[in-house]
Amino acid sequence: MSIVPDMRQPEALWAHMRHTLAFYAPRVMDATGGCFQFFKDDGTVYDRRTRHLVSSTRFVFNHALAWRWFGASTADVAHALAFVNEAHAQPQGGYAWVLDWHDGKAQVTDGTNHCYGLAFVLLANAHAAEAGVAGAKQGIAATFELMEQRFWEAAHGLYADEATPDWQLGSYRGQNANMHACEAMLAAHATTGDARYLDRALTLATSIAQRQAALADGLVWEHYNSDWTPDWDYNRDDKTNIFRPWGFQTGHLTEWAKLLLMLERRLGTAAPDWLVPTAKHFFDTAMKHGWDATHGGLVYGFAPGDSWSPPPASTQSSPRGGHVGLGSGPAPDMEVCDADKYFWVQAESLAAAAWLAVRTGDDTYWQWYDRLWAYAWQHFVDHQHGAWYRILAPDNRKVTDEKSPAGKTDYHTMGACQDVLAALGVPAPAR
């Protein structure tokens, strides 16, 4: 293993992004459309046909990042976005979740409409628009309107989660789609300056990080019923759904911490006073219960112990209500419920640590930043081939040679580097 560079320095972050991009660059583009999405550790493409909306949109982000920092071609951004718009987009107005792409033609294998997917369509358009891709700015507005029309629930200040191809809403509600919608709204505002995106980001953050968190002792629970009351048992015994895991998610707590601080910076003097203390609470709790003191790294999830019961639903407040406190019941006796180590959890957490360190001036957060990088550098970064491994066992053993299956494009890892640069106030080169 090479010595860990000083990852507080922009040059080290740029070098790591380049190293990761180099893993994908020679093999990711499919000349017939879009990007390949299944890679072994050495870069071998092991499935050339399956295309998942999450990967298709995240590759737009990756190529936009390569353009922003290193002057890569905007043609690659346009190529990736065109696949989203021409292959995933459906006549009913939605975007197919999974496609079989063969001989330049798409066959829908899962036509479910997911708000999570639309959040990434919005994010992709926002970053493509910044790169000057034709039609992307219009794509921002069109995707936002689609989300508002099909998923927005004004009474709750949140988006519903999924619908059939003909737009029949399902009963499941989840925070994950709303978290990434908040991320996408911040990107849309950064690109367009349109206040409605920033306002929507604040509403989403308030609804999840304040009102809904009050139902889970000041933390973020993942799953809800159609009336946004917590569903404490959804996927309790199913670890296969990577987008809807059970328990308190270490990485989602830190990801929200990062987003709350980004939101505060973007709001400026209009920012509510609960954003920073809530971000600290989420991050500190994630480190307390998620850090593996034996093997290092952050576990995937932890859950209330048998001694904890959730606070009553009467603690709810309005979507734009005030600060509800950092807990409305007894402190939960947390237990690790999934001790596996996931790449994105480490990446989002180090980005959050940097934002907290810069915002608060507390060196404890820089210590967490350095600790997380040291762990990831030793166990997750593939120094030979590039990119990060996706998942490790609790003791950091490798469990698969599938480095990047559908859903993983290293958007989290390169995005974390970009987020740290943003926290430090490093501007992208003028283009």
How many Cβ atoms sit within 10 Å of the Cβ of residue 74?
A: 18
185-194 mean pLDDT: 98
Catalytic residue list contains 79: no
CA-nearest of 269, 274, 146, 150 to 208 is 274
Is the confidence at residue 414, as pLDDT, over 60? yes
> What is the model's pLDDT at position 5?
97
CA-nearest of 251, 239, 260 to 183 is 260
High-pLDDT (> 90) share of the chain, %: 88
What residues have CB less than 8 Å from 14, skipping those under 6 apart?
69, 70, 417
Domains of the chain (ranges plus CATH)? 10-424 (1.50.10.10)
Catalytic residue list contains 412: yes
Band (pLDDT 50/70/90 cuts) for residue 334 is confident
| Tokens 């200040």 sit on residue | 157
CA-nearest of 334, 115, 125 to 216 is 334
Kindly report the pTM of this predicted structure. Answer: 0.94
What residues have CB less than 8 Å from 147, skipping those under 6 apart?
115, 118, 119, 122, 159, 181
Band (pLDDT 50/70/90 cuts) for residue 67 is very high
How is residue 426 written in tokens?
A: 């490093």
342-354 mean pLDDT: 98
Is the confidence at residue 52, as pLDDT, over 80? yes
Residue type, 295: H
195-205 mean pLDDT: 98
Residue range 272-321, pLDDT digits in tens: 999 999 999 999 999 999 999 999 999 999 988 665 666 655 444 333 33
What residues have CB less than 8 Å from 258, skipping those under 6 apart?
279, 348, 351, 352, 355, 419
Does residue 254 contact residue 342 with C-beta atoms inside 8 Å?
Answer: no
Instruction: Specify the pairing of strand 223-224 against strand 158-159.
Output: unpaired
Is the confidence at residue 34, as pLDDT, over 90? yes
Is the confidence at residue 326, as pLDDT, over 80? no
Residue range 56-66, pLDDT digits in tens: 999 999 999 99
How many Cβ atoms sit within 10 Å of the Cβ of residue 121?
A: 28
390-407 mean pLDDT: 97
> What is the model's pLDDT at position 317?
39
> What is the model's pLDDT at position 123?
98
Is the confidence at residue 342, as pLDDT, over 90? yes
Is the confidence at residue 332, as pLDDT, over 80? no
Residue range 89-127, pLDDT digits in tens: 999 999 999 999 999 999 999 999 999 999 999 999 999
| Tokens 């992208």 sit on residue | 428
Residue type, 246: W
> What is the model's pLDDT at position 430?
85
375-403 mean pLDDT: 98
> What is the model's pLDDT at position 307?
56
Distance of CA 45 to the CA centre of its chain: 24
Is the confidence at residue 176, as pLDDT, over 80? yes
Q: Choosing from 180, 223, 289, 412, which is the catalytic residue?
A: 412
Band (pLDDT 50/70/90 cuts) for residue 405 is very high
Q: Choosing from 156, 180, 252, 289, which is the catalytic residue?
A: 252
Is the confidence at residue 86, as pLDDT, over 60? yes
When mean pLDDT is compared across 231-240, 256-265, 324-333, 408-417, the lowest value belongs to 324-333
Is the confidence at residue 333, as pLDDT, over 50? yes
Band (pLDDT 50/70/90 cuts) for residue 330 is very low
Q: What is the DSSP letter of 87?
A: I
High-pLDDT (> 70) share of the chain, %: 93
Q: Which helix (H) or strand (E) holds 357?
A: helix 343-360
